[in-house]
Structure 1
Amino acid sequence: MFNGRTLESRRAGQINRYTPLVMTGLLLAGGYALLVSGLSLVFQQALGWNSPWLSALLFFIMALAFFPLRNRLEGLFSSLRGVSLQQSPRRVEMTEAVSLLDTLDRREIILRLRRELLEKLGVEKAHLFLYDLVSDSYQAAEDQNGKKTSDLVFQSNSPLVEHLTKIKGFLSLNEADAVLMDELRGERTRLSLLNARWFFPLPGNQRLLGWLALDGQTGAGFTPPVLEAVGRLCREAALALDRAQMVSEMENSVREMNILTRVAQGVNVTLNLDDIFELIYAQITQLIPADQFRLILKSPQGDGLVQVFFIDGEERVSEQENLYLPVEPSLESEVAASGRGSMTDDYSRESRQRGLLPLTDAIYAWMAAPLNAGAEPIGIICLGRRDPAQRFTTEQLRILQALADQAAGGIFKVRLLAESERRARQLKTLNEVTRQLTSTLDPERLLKNILQSAVDILNCEAGSLLMLDEHTEELVFRVVLGPVAHELEGQRMPADKGVVGRSFQTRQPLIVNDVRSSKDWFSKPDKMTGFVTRSLLVVPLIVKDTVLGVIEVVNRKDGSNFNLDDQELLTAFASQAAVAIENARLYTLTDQALAAKVEELSVLQRIDRELNTSLDVSRAMTITLEWAMRQSGADAGLVGVVLPEGVRVVASQGYADELSIFENDLIPGDRIGLGRMIDLRRAIRSYPAEDLPGLFTSAASQVLIPIQREQSVIGLLLLESRKPEVCDEDMLEFLQRLGDHAAIAIANAQLYSAVQSANVAKSEFVSFVAHELKNPMTSIKGYTELLAAKAVGPVNDAQANFLTVIRSNIDRMNTLVSDLNDLSKIEAGRLRLEFAPIHLSEALQEVERSTRRQIEEKQQTLTINLPADLPPVWADRTRLVQVLVNLVSNAHKYTEAGGKITVGALRTKNEWDENGPAEVVHVWVQDTGLGIAPEDQPKIFQKFFRSEDPKAREVPGSGLGLNITRSLVEMQGGQIWFESEYRRGTTFHFTIPVAEQ
């Protein structure tokens, strides 16, 4: 389409326009043919020629000879009238017919026209005004240098344009009558500035294409033939410009169709709204330049217009996007309501004249087209220009509407898809959150999860969860999310104030999309925090007809309003949340009761730990009394052992000298009602009376707790208080259980005492036997060495072998006896250590001397690597040497002949015990021997352990050496461990504290 006409109609118009020229050409050709025929007959009769071709040739020669004569006569005539031969209208007409119609370039046509005016007519100053479709006005064209000859602009409805459109020739202000000058009264200022006297219209097929204005001074000597020649030149220029414009319009139409196609394709393949908005903006502004571009959509809920896309200049202004527009009537709202496009030359003035609200600033020309998709528009596209001279045209509005129609379907489709996806995500989130709520029973965590989920589901800026305080009847901000959460949490508000209070009182959800206009709005929180609330949605938390509190979500992040769908979604969520809160509350009550029981068990566990670590009867009973007094809050109490003659007091608290009257701390049973308690075998409460007064002077109540083991009462716990009730039923049960635990601990302590006595007796026996065995072994060893040394006569080889066997077994027995003696002392706690600073090098020298012979017998190598700056250690010299000898001997025994034994040490930090010495000496003994099998490694330090490894079994031993070694290392404040690779060797490590300087 081109300005409402088809391409065929334009072509038909062009053919109609050229029809007179074609007819004129045909008439001239026919006349020339008749003239040639007539002259041929004349010459044929006069000269007797019979050939028409000779007559035609003679006539053509005569015509050629006539042209110079014609030019001379025309020049003579022109000189007589003061006109140059170069100004011959005929010559100009011939030239321009060739030079103006053979190009479609508008600028080239203008340049050729100016050149013809200058070269053929001598016109230097001329203003060429041409129609501008974009601004619907006539503006001056550029000169040869590319500069406009004038800044004046004539609107399409100006009097000058209307007059030039009507006339057939040209307008001369010199010859204008009073009527014409009166019509041009509104143009006098422009005409005076233009300083032009002659106006030659450039008629077009549909409108006036423009005009040529000749400067008054330049054209002072123009004659009618020259003016007529200029008119003919302008008509030819108009014909060329009209043809160029037609081609340009065709190109613009093709470009418009391409853009429409791109928009249609883009909106159909793009699923991102922002990408569609960018595409629409880019394509529209290619055809219709604008200083401001706005895309306004109706909200999905249909409660207003939302400005979703805003371009000012060439910059996108995000602050002006996703904003709800005021509800007051405006030009934009009229277009959105009517579904018809509109435009104006002065946006603000027209808005004020019609009593409408202008929605944008600094815009003069304004145009809007509705986005029609279905029965009602879904929004509008608005363009604006700041320059008052640049107006929009009807053609541009038509193009904008065509593009808007293409874009509307895509926007509607994507918005519908986005809304469906959003709702699906909300329902999915609601499902997941509901499952999570049922799995959370911690009240504080649950409330945070509920509010966070509500804010996330509706994509809000902030939210609050308020719970009712039953004591004060106030709503408390229990959880708050948003920029001012820390300022609001814990704050209180009346339960009947504001939108929140109204929802709480009415038990109904409420939506307020403009809080400033709501009479229920409670603005104190905003004033206190500085947060700006625009809209909110409040839903009560109801369970079993009881309102627990409310959920409040504030300000959608996308700037949209809350709607009924949001209300239904949050209401469904709130019902689930209320059930979860009630479950958590019930769980908390149960958990508190359970926690009390757990606390009781924890106390009993601590009591058991203290009781079982003491293993002393007196200490166990003292601990029992301390915990009973602490838990019950009694003022005085005692604990004792039940004997046939009464209760012997083991420990007491709170008494002054009330117990001093009893000899040997023995209280008669009938004095405290012991018989009744033994008969009942359970804790009993009693109240002091005249016949049975309390032991505590100001006692008002008593409680007796039996300490019984199996069927026997072995002890008694007595608590007295100044209060009428020393304890309730729960405390009485606790004290009874405490008595039962105490009975077990006391029994264990008694058993432990018996075991300790037996162990001491065993250790004393082993020590006695070991001591008694040493004397005969010493004698046997001495006589054996005398015999082997041939002190009493010669010894043959067999006898020498027997003596070697006897001496070897005596050494083994001596080692075994020494180990048993050390073990018994360690177990009995009677091994005494004498600590002193010791240089490890000196201890290792002694070890080397004592083990040299046996190491050399197996051709082994003993290497000692000690740093020069190794500090002295704090240890018992004899026992340290014993530890080293045991480890080196073990390495020797379990290493084959030719093996290597390495002893090393270094100073290091203590990594075993935070409370131990800061620095230690780390010693290791490494061998290349048999190694320890993985299954034997956990048992290596056990008493009497012997490996099942056949090669290890070949080496004799008692299984006590490593156990004693570990005990000796630990008794000296160190730690021992090992690393072993089976059949590759073993490394034993131990640490000894560094001696303080």
Structure 2
Amino acid sequence: MALRIMKYTLSQWLDNQQTALLQHWSNQLESAASPVAVQSHIDTKRFVLALIAAAEGNELPLRELFTDWITGETEPDVPAMVRSLHYLHRTLRTTLLREPAELTIVDALADLFEQTTTILIEIWSEHTNQLIQEREFIAASLDSASAAADQRALQLKALNDISQRLSATLDRDELLEIVIDSLYRLTEAHHVAVWLVDEQQRLKVVATRGNGDGPTIGYVLPETNPVFQTAFQNGVFWPAPSADPTHDWLIAGCGVLIIPMTGGTGLIGAITLQELQNPLDLRFMQDLAQSIASQAAIALQNAELYHTIRTLNTELEQRVIERTRELEEEKNRLATLHAIAAQVNQTLDLDQILNNSLTMLARIVQAEHASILLTEEDNPSLLVTRAILGKKVTPDNTVRFAIGQGIAGWAAQHGQTVLVHDVAKDERWITIPGSSRKREGSMIAVPLFVQGEVIGVMTLSHPQTHFFSEGHVRLLNACAGAIAIGINNANLFRMISAEAERRYELLDRQQKETSQIAAILQSLLDGVIVCDLYGGVISINQAASRILHRPLEELLLWNLHDIIHRYLGNHAAELPLDDLLRRPLTVDGAARTFTTTAVIAGKTINFALSPVLKDDDELLGALLVLRDITREVEADRMKNEFIGTMSHELRTPMTAIKGFTQLLAMGGLGQLNDTQREFVNTIYNNTERMINLINDVLEITKIESGSIDLEWRALHLAEALSGVIAELQPQITQRRHQLTILLPPGLPLIRADSMRLHQILFHILSNAVKYTPAGGSITIAAREVMNVDLPEPIRSTLSDNRRYLLLSISDTGVGIRPEDLPRIFDRFFRSDNPLKVEAGGTGLGLSIVKPLVELLGGRIWVESTVGVGSTFSLVLPVAGDHS
């Protein structure tokens, strides 16, 4: 307990003196005369802290400090360090004695430095002993390595000798003798054997050397042998194999070493070494045996490749000889083919081609009889003789075969060349009546193909059986193609010549017709302009040049679009050329036609635009016909003026008659009896009817003369309908009709004339009221639509890119007969129905409505079923939509 207090007191004193001690120690290190100057590489602070820890009883920091210093890179000077510790002890003791302190602390200081010196010497002694042991181990290792190097050098020399011997031969038996002899001599094993993989992929002993009852040459290893299977991967050392029937190749009591031999193609064999006296010695021979096995594998593989190459060379020489013979035959065949092709290409006369080909082929193959049969043009199922070797084809020697009959017919039917070695034994032979040919000898029948179809058969025969060979077949097959091409060319030439002659006649006729048409076109009084699919002008007559007041040459350079826009201006949309070229036909398949009029140089010209179509409705372009209708317009104007004047002259007295009749009816000239009142009312009603008729005639006259002035503005359909309904409300109420109006919110405004729109709606709605039996229903509906929403006949007459307002007025009236629908808008036409007399009228209302609707840029049409009712529909363009 006293010692622990004493040490703690020493450590406390050292801790208190730490700063002064460090300063004093640093000053001593900086002094060149100081014995510790050489130790300046020691961490002074770490040393002082380790010394304080040792005073507290913890030696570990001090040991770690000395260990790092002794084992560092710089060689430690232990004696100098001991002197330094002694010097430091004296310095601390002197400092301690200057202070009043217990003697036990002074003694503890001495013990501390003695302990420090002892630790230093222990660590240095341990380090020195370790260095001595390492140097002794290195010396022993060097001796061992030197001996191993000597042994390795001997082995490398032996391997070098073996390698040179193996490289000196490519004979398999010599290589095996070198390998087995070298292994037995270098390893001094009891038994050595070389195994190689045979053709059945089995290991077979091919060389042995040694004593005992080991495997002999020719021994085959069982297919499943776990020892060899493992050896094929890493090699096997088996120091003490156990007795096993599957290991009958083992020598009793011997250790065994198995070394696999592998090459580029995989496992090629194995080497086994068996040792009786010192089995463990095989372990040290493994590297040497492995090296010899590797060299042996390469040498054996090279020998096998050499043997294979020699075999291939022998086979190649034989193939070269055979190929040379084949090339010679091919050369002769190509020469023949070239001669045939040249002969065939010299002419396009079919008979000359056939006869020349037969003569040449018969001479080459030495045939005595030959012929060519071709299929008939009118009946491809028959073969007809077209050429006979050495003879001219006549009706007497012409033969016809049905395809499938005879040898030639069989070749044509199956599309295969027939080689008959003995026609007497062939069942396909057919004897031709009246022919002198005997059924003997051999024959070849070759089909002639053009684009995969049989056009004929070529036959060659010889009185000797087995005369023709496969070489003849190959030659004739090659020549058949050239002959077939020549025949086809001749046929094509004949057909082309006939077709050319026919087309020449057609062209001549067409040129005459074209000249006639051009003459007719130029003689027409109406102007005609024809354009292509893009609007380019391709034809124009003098009348068009005269009407348009432009030179013909200038108009030919224009586009039809330019002509329409230049002469119609704002009315160019009435002849929609682009729309016509995109869609020339209606849904019913009829050609679409657009007409309009314009005034050019004081003359009224009618423009009629229609498509130009072929018989199969293929579009070729468009046709614009210009007709001067100035006289017709002037005559119509005079007629309208006359009718207008007469109507005015008639309306003046009628107005007076109506006024006086109304005055009489009201009793202005005295009271009337019932008979007089009935007469007066009759006069008044007929006068009213005559005035309405005269007004309608005047209205039609204005429409036809184009003298109607329109006040265009944006109108609400609801406002226009309200005025008409208010005017007809007494009649609707009187006939007890149910009126339904369906106008969705947000309907766009329409662009129209308010008075003319009122007139249109009044006539349509008035007819619905009059021609619907009492108690019926009338429905008015409207909605915004595009062109695609309209029926095809209407859609084709309107612009594709505008919005429209569709108004439908439907009733449950008597309806209109289907045969009357096309005439419903004609003047003075009234369809027969039960309410015709009761409704009255002149038949001019709808004839006024239709041109007024079209004048406003719209269209009107009717759908009706007798007994069910009618629906009048009209479309008007939306205001402000000029797209």
Q: In which range does the TM-score fall when normalised by the shorter chain?
A: 0.3 to 0.5
Q: TM-score, normalised by structure 1?
A: 0.33
